[in-house]
Amino acid sequence: MEQKIKAIVRISNNDLDGNKNIYMALKKIKGISFMFSNAICNCLDLDKRRKAGALSEKEIKEIESLIENSNKFPKWLLNRRKDYDTGEDFHLIGSKLKLTNDFDIKRLKKIKSYRGLRLSQGLPVRGQKTRSHFRKGRSVGVQKKKLQQQKKESDEKKSGGKK
């Protein structure tokens, strides 16, 4: 008997390509890395090369419950260790991950920590040098040429074109 492969599989509010391997398809969920995807497959004894569209409803529910309750995995594999509010270790995916990241950045800006100030200014946070990199949004040297040209033009207009 041949199993029908679904074109799209819905896991944790994400549409995954059913023609990809389970291991690769799970990586498309925001917050699930290759290590976490590998751990899910190993924990549930799923063949990583099996197509995601061939998963049964029961297996999909098991994957979702394992992602929600990630206490089977070691702490170093989770993406939210020692949460600021609760102090617990857990794994976030999708919109929850983006929201908590945004709230963390807002908290850092609000308390005016060094990291918060650097984030608000658009500068690197982790101690990198800024002399030659991180010039996004600023054009170095180009503005000087434009200013010099404008100054020359305004001087010529004032003097009537004579020097």
Domains of the chain by residue range: 8-77, 94-126
Looking at every residue in the chain, the average pLDDT score rounds to: 85
How far apart (Å, rounded) are the C-alpha atoms in residues 76 and 80?
9
pLDDT at 1 over 50: no
Give the whole-number percent of the chain exceeding pLDDT 70: 91
**Among candidate residues 35, 6, 30, the one with its CA nearest the CA of residue 18:** 6
Kindly state the helix (H) or strand (E) to which residue 22 belongs, with its residue range.
Answer: helix 22-26
| CATH of 8-77 among 1.20.1050.10, 3.20.20.80, 1.10.287.110, 1.10.8.50 | 1.10.8.50
DSSP 54: G
| Mean pLDDT, rounded, for 14-26 | 89
Provide the b/e sequence for 68-105 (b: ≥16 CB within 10 Å): eebeebeeebbbbeeeeeeeebbbbbeeebeebeeebe
pTM of the model: 0.70
| Mean pLDDT, rounded, for 2-22 | 85
Q: What is the pLDDT of residue 5?
A: 81
